[in-house]
Amino acid sequence: MCVVVLAASASAGEIPRAERRSGSDFMSRETRAMQDDDTANPGMLWVLEGESLWNKKTGDAGRACAECHGDARASMKGVAARHPAFDATRGRPVTLEQRVNVCRTERQKAPPLAYESRELLALTAYLARQSRGLPIDVATDQRTQPFLDAGRATFYRRQGQLNLACSQCHDDNWGRQLAGNVVPQAHPTGYPLYRLEWQSLGSLQRRLRNCLIGIRAEPYEYGAAELVDLELFLMWRARGMTFEAPAVRP
């Protein structure tokens, strides 16, 4: 007779809803204090700039965001917490960054802003700020289901030279150390966020590309369908969690 004892850590599987924790729970007290104080949170510099861009006329149409959307404090409340959202004309989900650029090119007749440019980060940070404290609530219906499934597949697919899937760190080994850092659960609760390592604000896609480079995989381009679907899946995975943008992370 032989008894086989299986190690529990081999595949812990999806994180139960009650055990989900935002990245801010894994941070030091000092970093959390920085995030919570609007005059210490460097992300607020982008929010301030975003507010001025919101009210500035731009493009050939000579219109400001505010002329259609009014006061963002009211009209944009909860919007960032619902993205990526399905766009009927494109037939697929679009991120907040893409939504801003759709509005710019179609309504304002202005050139799209480059990913990770200061202006786009400022606008998305300003929009995201209007959802702070609200629950993450991406819509999942028949239209978004295939994209959600594609994102899930990416999350669980091993890739790169290290042959690692996102889930192997963020589902199975969260809370443990990866070199000097604690592995978080990968809930995108505060994007765009100020990363102390970056000394700048950055989008979720910048973070995802970082992780892909970390596992020695070739990162997808900004705005690539794979990244958008993954973003959608991660937001769905974090559904109901509190939106903290602009967050601060180490």
* Interface positions with other proteins (CB under 8 A): 37-40, 42, 44-49, 52, 118, 122, 196, 199-200
Paired tokens of 118: 């200061």
Comparing CB distances to other proteins, the nearer of 33 and 68 is 33
Say whether 211 is catalytic.
Answer: yes
CB nearer to other proteins: give 161 or 199. Answer: 199
Which residue of the set 65, 166, 169, 211 is catalytic? 211
Cα–chain center distance at 117: 16
For 52, what's the count of Cα atoms within 13 Å in the CB-facing half-sphere?
7
Shortest separation between residue 66's beta carbon and other proteins, angstroms: 17
> In the complex, what is the shortest distance from the CB of residue 52 to other proteins, in angstroms, rounded to a whole number?
7
Phi, psi angle pair for 51, to nearest 5°: -65, -40
Tokens of 185: 């659960």
Cβ 178 to other proteins shortest distance, Å? 23
CA dihedral 15, 18, 23, 29 (to 10 degrees): -140
**Closest CB to other proteins among 40 and 213?**
40
Of 50 and 184, which CB lies nearer to other proteins in the complex structure? Answer: 50
| 112 upstream amide cis, omega within 30 of 0 | no
- CA distances from residue 47 to 2, 37, 59, 72, 170 in whole angstroms, order as listed: 62, 14, 21, 12, 29
Q: CA separation (Å) from 1 to 4, 5, 7?
A: 10, 13, 19
Q: Where are the beta strands (DSSP E) in 103-214?
A: 177-178, 181-182, 193-195, 200-202
Minimum Å gap between C-beta 119 and other proteins is 10
Beta carbon of residue 226, minimum distance to other proteins (angstroms, whole number) = 26
Residue 197 vs 218, nearer CB to other proteins: 197
Catalytic site positions: 211
